Structure 1
Amino acid sequence: MNRTMRALLGATALCAAGGIASAQENVTLTIATVNNGDMIRMQGLTQDFTAQHPNITLEWVTLEENVLRQRVTTDIATQGGQYDILTIGNYEVPIWAAQNWLVPLNDMPESFEPDDLLEPVADALSVDGTLYASPFYAESAMVMYRTDLAEAASVTIPDSPTWTDIRTAAEAMTDQANGVYGICLRGKAGWGENMAFLTAMANSYGARWFDMEWNPQFDSPEWTEAATDYVDMMTQFGPPGASNNGFNENLSLFQQGQCGIWIDATVAASFVTNPTDSTVADSVGFAQFPNKEGVDNHGNWLWTWSLAIPASSQNQDAAKEFIAWATSRGYSELVAQEQGWAAAPPGTRRSLYDSAEYQEAAPFAAMTLTAIESANTSQSSVQETPYSGGQFVAIPEFQGIGTAVGQQFSAALAGQGDVQQALNNAQQLTQREISRAGYPK
């Protein structure tokens, strides 16, 4: 078992070559995916695909984000072969491709149009110029806020806010007696849940995970200030039970009118502005991810939920057909026809942002594109770092380390210890695990 496999399987513990089927065969594709709104929407539209491919049956394994990551990581590291298509992100792609665990997306159907993919997104899913996963949607992060509450509270959130602007507005918007909380931020433990947000926030304060010698930096003043402000804002102006809230829970709170400010993934914009699902659809404003005064870094992240084929799949040709359908320009047009242009999966294709219909229907389009194109995943902090990744550290061990650290901050948010204790524990466990893994190499 090689180092990457050990690291990935160790991460799961710490967190708590396929054949090709011919087009004529009857094939069942097992697809592991996340329970996000865009993925649920895609499942509801797959009759279009199966009508075109009557020999292909789709079986879905739809899981909560943390559970999905654990299961697909274990399966691919052991070559278990349970799935034909995996929903993974730009964290996993370069690590798994280097191990020959993913099928290169060569010889794709003509409808795939790889040259239409946004360059930062395609680069994040490629190794040595070869694409190993196709983006279903891509995101950065931004501020979403209630314009009606801001107006009523006589506060302004500028297009490029500081954390002082955010705190001032959150305090003014808070009306707990009527179930309105000034700010909603991720609190659920997970390297892709609360630590995605907290890493981006810490970056915007000038912090970093490691110095150039791979020494953890949770004892730095930048991390102390970022973590303290996070817990303080959420304790005073956030909803009860925030330590259990991730992306989906905060989305629901915002749609129900219970959040004044939500800072999270840009992909949420289409859901909070959809009048079918959101009670505040006509009162949502957008702004860049905040920065700390004096720090020239808005902490923009880059993430893409993407579809990839494990090398253990016995149905690789059929899997390529499905991926080409689900991530194509044609799929965006299908979504627009069925549910409106604003619902089209964002952040992946230049043609979408060149579309006048999309620009008109999606008031968040320009802010989303700006956030994605300004994300610097190779240098996410104003300080020098030995790693890349933006809102994560792009090493195999980060799944386990990130989730264990996330548990410390989630506990602090829940009142089970204070911020300093969480920082001390994060420093110690990160030092132990990174030393155990042999860094610096």
Structure 2
Amino acid sequence: MRRRRMRTLLLSLVVLLTSTACAGWGGSVGGGGANSINVLMVNNPQMVDLQRLTAEHFTKATGITVNFTVLPENDVRDKISQEFSSQAGQYDVASLSNFEIPIYARSGWIAPMDPYIAADPAFDQADILPPMTESLKGPDGQIYGQPFYGESSFLMYRADVLQAAGITMPEQPTWQQVADIAARLDGVQPGMAGICLRGQPGWGQVFAPLTTVVNTFGGTWFTIDWQAGVNSPEFTKAVQFYVDLVREHGEAGAPQAGFTECLNNMVQGNAAMWYDATSAAGSLEAADSPVRGKIGYAPAPVVETDSSGWLYAWSWGIQAASEKKDAAWKFVSWASSKEYEQLVGEQVGWSDVPAGKRASTYENPQYVAEAGAFAEQTKHAIETADPRNPGVQPRPAIGIQFVGIPEFPDLGTQVSQEVSSAIAGLVTVDQALDRGQQLADDVAERYRSRAEGNS
């Protein structure tokens, strides 16, 4: 608890510094001379740990000063987009997800890392989990990002509640089996819903889990030849299933429920199951969690595919316009290294290690001792994720819980508003997806036109 309070204070300090146009402990952006780099990154707790450890360990070892600018997620995405699209060169490194990196690589905004990887065998690229590496490649097949930490998705459930009800969770559950279990557990304890599923609007909220459901039901946002499929029979069946499940056996206030709300429901005993990010397990198994030791973990439910977990990673990209790429790589390779994970484990705590990216993490006995309840399941979920072929048909862009095109955040968010309305009972699923189809077809038309123009 003391460590958590300290991290909260550090995070507050970071926000205060960035709100007053200061770049954190490294000084003002652009300062420090030739032997310094500027890093623009999201204000997640793992990044706060990184800031605190950098000067004492990385700078002391390399002589490279790191000037951090830290912002909330929405703000940092906007600032990174503006900075990298203009190629101003003010920032050398930025925290990017596996959604942005292939797009930025295609646009020539970030530098390929293959030459540095080849010259730095100690980094051990082969230790990075293959789906992570694949999701951070550009269209030319080169690697353009290194993961800081990653996640997939799986089904979390109250093992004690299932046992008391005489229910055994299948090793690889189908969505129908999950729905049947949710029906049996709904109300089995006072105030306990059968399942919690995100319903909050947003391409990264409801459509994070829902797009994986669409994939395994046989649907897709776009076919390989850029035909919109939002109101296709498969897409419709998946969304209807999801909406019915959360309306009939899900949490109260589902249209406004996102990751945080479902996490709170599980911790407080208000949900028997939850399908969401593997990163949630750390909170469920925290020392002060009322449900610690009571949670079981199963792979993401499937229908027509062998697996259906998503893939997400906060990663590092080096701006193409940077004049300090060598120093930038030294920072990136350190921040994504085994050495850094060991440092966090020893200095901060093994439950705080930025995991989900390296195979060796899951062979580290110190980490496994802390995260043994979910470590192997997390690794399996990431290893079985396929960002290029997440469904039953070829896709025109990389991505599992998203479509890797610049238009998707706006498209996904608009369609998600319709789906949330369906969860609230304000429109039917057919009405929601018919509207979504029009929006998706507008996007698809642009890509069809480009393909015709290039033919």
Same fold per superposition (TM over 0.5) = yes
Q: Percent identity?
A: 37
Q: CA deviation at 1:340?
A: 4.1
Aligned equivalents of 1:43, 1:318: Cα separation in 2: 17
Q: Is the 8 A contact 2:37 2:91 kept in 1?
A: no
The 5 A counterparts of 1:160-179 are: 160-175=172-187, 178-179=190-191
- DSSP 3-state at the match of 1:32: strand
Aligned twin of 2:387:
377
Q: Which runs of 5+ in 2 are unaligned?
A: 1-29
Cα shift readout 1:14-61 (whole Å, capped 9, x = no counterpart)? xxxxxxx999757463422153x5445545554644662676254342
The 5 A counterparts of 1:380-395 are: 380-395=390-405
**TM-score after normalising by structure 1:** 0.83
Among candidates 159, 163, 188, match of residue 147 of structure 1: 159
Aligned equivalents of 1:213, 1:130: Cα separation in 2: 24
Q: CA deviation at 1:222?
A: 1.6
Aligned twin of 2:376:
366
Aligned equivalents of 2:174, 2:130: Cα separation in 1: 29
Segment of structure 1 superposing worse, 236-245 or 321-330: 236-245
2:216 matches 1:204: yes
Q: Is the 8 A contact 2:196 2:273 kept in 1?
A: yes
- DSSP 3-state at the match of 2:298: strand
Q: Is the 8 A contact 2:40 2:80 kept in 1?
A: no
- Relative distance call for 1:46 and 1:186 in structure 2 (3 A) is farther
Aligned twin of 1:246:
258
Among candidates 112, 120, 124, match of residue 123 of structure 2: 112
- DSSP 3-state at the match of 1:259: coil
Segment of structure 1 superposing worse, 21-30 or 430-439: 21-30
Aligned-residue CA RMSD (Å): 3.0
Cα shift readout 1:54-98 (whole Å, capped 9, x = no counterpart)? 76254342314x554344334322335564432222222122112
Q: Is the 8 A contact 1:190 1:403 kept in 2?
A: yes
2:98 matches 1:87: no
Aligned equivalents of 2:257, 2:326: Cα separation in 1: 39
Among candidates 348, 352, 364, match of residue 343 of structure 1: 352
Among candidates 399, 404, 410, match of residue 409 of structure 2: 399
Aligned twin of 1:17:
none
Aligned twin of 1:98:
106
Q: CA deviation at 1:291?
A: 1.3
Aligned equivalents of 2:144, 2:226: Cα separation in 1: 29
Which residue identity lines up with residue 162 of structure 2 in the other structure?
A
Aligned twin of 2:315:
306
- DSSP 3-state at the match of 2:356: coil
Aligned twin of 2:84:
76
Cα shift readout 1:320-352 (whole Å, capped 9, x = no counterpart)? 343233211112112222454343222211221
| RCO comparison, higher one (Cα < 8 Å, 6+) | 1
| Number of aligned residue pairs | 416
Q: Is the 8 A contact 1:23 1:317 kept in 2?
A: no
Aligned twin of 2:17:
none
Which residue identity lines up with residue 431 of structure 2 in the other structure?
Q
Larger helix proportion, structure 1 or 2? 2
Q: Is the 8 A contact 2:231 2:436 kept in 1?
A: no
**TM-score after normalising by structure 2:** 0.81
Segment of structure 1 superposing worse, 302-311 or 418-427: 302-311
Which residue identity lines up with residue 102 of structure 1 in the other structure?
I
Cα shift readout 1:380-417 (whole Å, capped 9, x = no counterpart)? 21134444322222233323222222222123223332
Q: CA deviation at 1:173?
A: 3.1
Aligned twin of 1:423:
433
Q: Is the 8 A contact 1:214 1:440 kept in 2?
A: no
Q: Is the 8 A contact 1:111 1:325 kept in 2?
A: no
Cα shift readout 1:268-320 (whole Å, capped 9, x = no counterpart)? 222221224x221111110010012xx23432222221121223446545543
Aligned twin of 1:15:
none
Aligned twin of 2:333:
324
